[in-house]
Amino acid sequence: MVDLMEKIVSLSKRRGFVFPSSEIYGGFGSCYDFGPLGVELKNNIKKVWWNEMTKRHDDIVGLDASILMSPKVWKASGHLTAGFADELVECKKCHKRDRWDFVLARAFPGKVFIDKPENFKKQVIKYEIKCDCGGEWMEPKKFNLMMKTFVGPVEDEASVTYLRPETCQGIYTNFKNILQTMRMKIPFGVAQIGKAFRNEINPKDFIYRTREFEQMEMQWFCEPKTSPKFFNYWKKERINWYLSLGIRKQNLRAKEVPKNELPHYAKRAIDIEYKFPFGWKEIEGIHNRGDWDLSNHSKHSGEDLKYDPSTGSGQGYFPHVIETSVGVDRSLFAFLCDAYQEVKGGRTKTTKSAKELEVLLKLDKSLAPVKAAVLPLVKNKPELVKKAKQVYKLLKPNFVCLYDETGSIGRRYRRQDETGTLFCITVDFDSLKKDDVTVRNRDTMKQKRIKIKDLVEEINKKLK
């Protein structure tokens, strides 16, 4: 399985999905850049999520709030207090720093610790836990994950603010604006996609845990007594979303978060987990946040954020919130892992040995970064190249396309399979006479001749 991780990282770099950030300067800890195919995949994930939330569901509107917000927001939300902090330990000998829960998980894989992390001494003695270098760990300290910055030219206490660690706070601070401008009636939701930042102690596992990432969050405002019903509804909806995009059932599960591990704002939480090469890990959180956010922002700002069922004018009660929160980068990683397949002996005729492996990235058609690749059968026949470029020009305004003339046709099919391209369109000698092309389907490898004039319509039909 670790092998799969290496293969995904290597494919990502080699084929333009994900590059290490600032690579020419030796990289910059845990930051990544999304390359030409990575950005298409990322945009597709965001588009599919946005459509799912705002088109397939009723009563969900969108928002794009700013990353920088008043620091008062983070005081009210509880993020500046101990609530949004991890336990940091440091080795007395080599001074390596790590998250205490990660140290425990590494030392005893699969073991569930009933001892609270703060029972550090008891755990160290009982389990004889030491750093890899043999050194002892210092007592853990709380480490707040907020990314601090300054606004304006003076770097003093008054100009301190934070990069948002979750996107949803902009939704709560705009609750009244949205109610009033859109005349929303409870229950309703607000969806948002945007960057979030956390000063993670130990970012790791490629793009799984990074300090800068993107979230797709939806906050569902409802009557307090209906929140358990909506919690279950959204849990089911979100799991079905992954399944509808081809994630295999056996690689997905929902895990109830134990009471002592709940985030500071949640009354109940479920992690949707994916079976990554490095184990089952969270890709999305479903949270019942109760009235934690609206009541705290009301208290700290002095604004009445209650909902009045008759007028919506701010009297009445604080709605409860069911939140669905997924990382774009983390879900992209899960989609890549799930789509990655190796075919022994090869699918195409170019594979010479039975042991040779051909890679197929079987991404859902809505997610595949490139929908069609246009390939002249050979590149040394100017009339074929000319025709293929005409076909490419015809398709390009309609969907993401590539033109590729380098290498044998079999090798070019393999290259496209490796990045999940849905259709390979080959321009051959018959194309010159009959004005048609062969269209090869990525999954079935079946080839069909289609008239060039019908290509856009035919491909669009298949993409629906």
Closest CA to 196 of 213, 172, 173: 213
Residue 261 tokens read as 């591990």
* Contact code string over 280-309 relative to ligand GAP, x by CB under 6 A: --xxxx------------------------
For ligand GAP, which residue has the nearest CB? 327
Region of 59 on the Ramachandran plot (φ > 0 left; ψ -120 to 50 alpha; else beta): left
Among 98, 329, 404, 405, indicate the residue that binds ligand GAP (CB under 6 A): 329
Q: DSSP labels for 281-328?
A: EEEEEEEEEETHHHHHHHHHH-----B-TTT-SS-SBPPEEEEEEEEH
Residue 322's alpha-carbon distances to 49, 91, 182, 313, 386, in angstroms, are: 17, 40, 20, 22, 56
196 vs 363 by CB, closer to ligand GAP: 196
Query: Using the rule CB under 6 A, is 168 a contact of ligand GAP?
Result: yes
* Contact code string over 10-49 relative to ligand GAP, x by CB under 6 A: ----------------------------------------
How many residues bind ligand GAP, per CB under 6 A?
19
219 vs 438 by CB, closer to ligand GAP: 219
Cβ proximity of 329 and 388 under 8 Å: no
289 vs 442 by CB, closer to ligand GAP: 289
Among 52, 166, 273, 404, indicate the residue that binds ligand GAP (CB under 6 A): 166
Those residues with Cβ within 8 angstroms of residue 383's Cβ, 6 or more apart along the chain or in another chain: 432
Cβ proximity of 140 and 88 under 8 Å: yes
Query: Using the rule CB under 6 A, is 273 a contact of ligand GAP?
Result: no
Among 15, 164, 209, 238, indicate the residue that binds ligand GAP (CB under 6 A): 209
Query: Using the rule CB under 6 A, is 200 a contact of ligand GAP?
Result: yes
User: Within 10 Å of residue 56's Cβ, how many Cβ atoms?
Assistant: 10
Among 103, 190, 245, 326, indicate the residue that binds ligand GAP (CB under 6 A): 326
**Is 343 exposed, middle or buried, given 0-12, 13-18 or 19+ CB atoms closer than 10 A?**
middle
Query: Using the rule CB under 6 A, is 358 a contact of ligand GAP?
Result: no
H/E stretch holding 106 reads helix 100-107
Residue 50 tokens read as 């946005």
Tell the smallest beta-carbon distance from residue 333 to ligand GAP (Å).
9
Q: Which part of the chain contacts ligand GAP (CB under 6 A), choosing from 133-141, 209-217, 292-300, 301-309?
A: 209-217
Query: Using the rule CB under 6 A, is 223 a contact of ligand GAP?
Result: no
Contacting positions for ligand GAP (CB under 6 A) = 166, 168, 198, 200, 209-210, 213, 215, 217, 282-285, 323, 325-327, 329-330
